[in-house]
């Protein structure tokens, strides 16, 4: 099926210039599997993107953590997709649960953002995931299907999209999904893509997992049939990120 393993590091709103320098130096000093085996993308805060892009080895690609929903202009505090393209940033994370919860980004708004970013030539890591209440209520699949549908409704191609399944209850909590929980949702999401888009989209779209992934639990998760990589938060700021990018070897 040829889905190349994908590991994203989401640095969130963390780091001083000194700390970022250290992370870059750790990444540059580590062994990275060949680009044929794994695609690695790190996502620093906007202000550090130019530094990280210019200093990191070319095996690492750079993503922004967000971008504005349409063409730039009078939107104080926002960063446009055009600006990211202008800086040569290939990737953007859209729909992270922190943006959905803290900045009230609706499914439709996330769908619009994904569509606009793709239209400008960016590649998108699109995040979906249920809260603990939704999981306990047995609505996990309904929730992630609705989030995925809001994206599917707005785009005509999934070629440049990586879908990140990130259960909200697992993000930053140290409470990782069990391999069974992760595989179940990933398989259902792939089935959803098959039913609602095209069989080729389901077969080729990478569905990655995020939520308390670390150097110790990554190998077991990486072995799952429908898991094609990770989006890593906390551990992407630490040297163990180098172990995570080797998880599929
Ligand atoms: C994330 O922020 O996307 C994430 C998965 O965070 P953590 O790995 O810290 O749970």
- Write out pLDDT tens, residues 169-182: 999 999 999 999 99
* Ligand 1 midpoint to CA 172 (Å): 5
- Give the Cα separation of 145 and 2 in Å (integer): 24
Query: Which residues lie with the beta carbon below 6 Å from any ligand 1 atom?
Result: 10, 12, 166, 171-172, 210-213, 231-235
- Write out pLDDT tens, residues 3-45: 999 999 999 999 999 999 999 999 999 988 888 899 999 999 9
Best residue for ligand 1 mutational test, from 63, 172, 227, 229 (most atoms within 8 Å of Cβ): 172
Token pair, residue 193, equals 């893509």
CB neighbours of residue 233 within 10 Å: 23
| 185 Cβ contact list (under 8 Å, min separation 6) | 140, 141, 144, 165, 167, 177
Mean of per-residue pLDDT scores for the chain: 97
48 — alpha (psi -120 to 50), left (phi > 0) or beta? alpha
CB neighbours of residue 115 within 10 Å: 18
Three-state DSSP at 1 gives coil
The pLDDT score that the predictor gives to residue 16 is 98
* Ligand 1 midpoint to CA 170 (Å): 8
Query: Rounded mean pLDDT of 151-163?
Result: 98
Token pair, residue 208, equals 């990655």
- Give the Cα separation of 174 and 169 in Å (integer): 9
Instruction: Just list the catalytic residues.
Output: 96, 166
- Write out pLDDT tens, residues 185-203: 999 999 999 999 999 999 9
Please check whether residue 71 is in contact with residue 82, taking contact to mean a CB–CB distance below 8 angstroms: yes
- Write out pLDDT tens, residues 68-86: 999 999 999 999 999 999 9
The pLDDT score that the predictor gives to residue 35 is 80
Percent of the chain scoring above 90 in pLDDT? 96
Best residue for ligand 1 mutational test, from 208, 232, 237, 245 (most atoms within 8 Å of Cβ): 232
The pLDDT score that the predictor gives to residue 1 is 53
pLDDT at 212 over 70: yes
- What ligand 1 atom has the least distance to the C-alpha of 232? 8
- Give the Cα separation of 25 and 35 in Å (integer): 19
Question: ipTM score here?
Answer: 0.98
The pLDDT score that the predictor gives to residue 177 is 96
Please check whether residue 68 is in contact with residue 78, taking contact to mean a CB–CB distance below 8 angstroms: yes
């Amino acid at each position: 099926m040829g889905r190349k393993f994908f590991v994203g590091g989401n640095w969130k709103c963390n780091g001083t210039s000194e700390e970022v320098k250290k992370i870059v130096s750790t990444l540059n000093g580590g062994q990275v599997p060949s680009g044929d085996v794994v695609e690695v993308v790190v996502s620093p805060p906007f202000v550090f993107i130019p530094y990280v892009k210019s200093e990191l080895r070319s095996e690492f690609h750079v993503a922004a953590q967000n971008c504005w929903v349409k063409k730039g202009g009078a939107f104080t505090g926002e960063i446009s997709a055009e600006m990211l393209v202008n800086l040569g940033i290939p990737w953007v994370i859209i729909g992270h649960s922190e943006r959905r919860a803290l900045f009230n980004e609706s499914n439709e708004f996330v769908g619009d953002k994904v569509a606009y970013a793709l239209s400008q030539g960016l590649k998108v890591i699109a995040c979906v995931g249920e809260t603990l209440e939704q999981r306990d209520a047995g609505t996990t699949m309904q929730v992630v299907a609705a989030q995925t549908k809001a994206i599917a409704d707005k785009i005509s191609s999934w070629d440049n999209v990586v879908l990140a399944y990130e259960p909200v209850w697992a993000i930053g909590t140290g409470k990782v999904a069990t391999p069974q929980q992760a595989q179940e949702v990933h398989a259902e999401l792939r089935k959803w893509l098959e039913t609602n888009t095209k069989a080729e989209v389901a077969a080729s779209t990478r569905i990655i997992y995020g939520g308390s992934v670390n150097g110790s639990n990554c190998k077991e998760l990486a072995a799952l049939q429908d898991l094609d990589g990770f989006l890593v938060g906390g551990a992407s700021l630490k040297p163990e990120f180098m172990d995570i990018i080797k998880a599929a070897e």
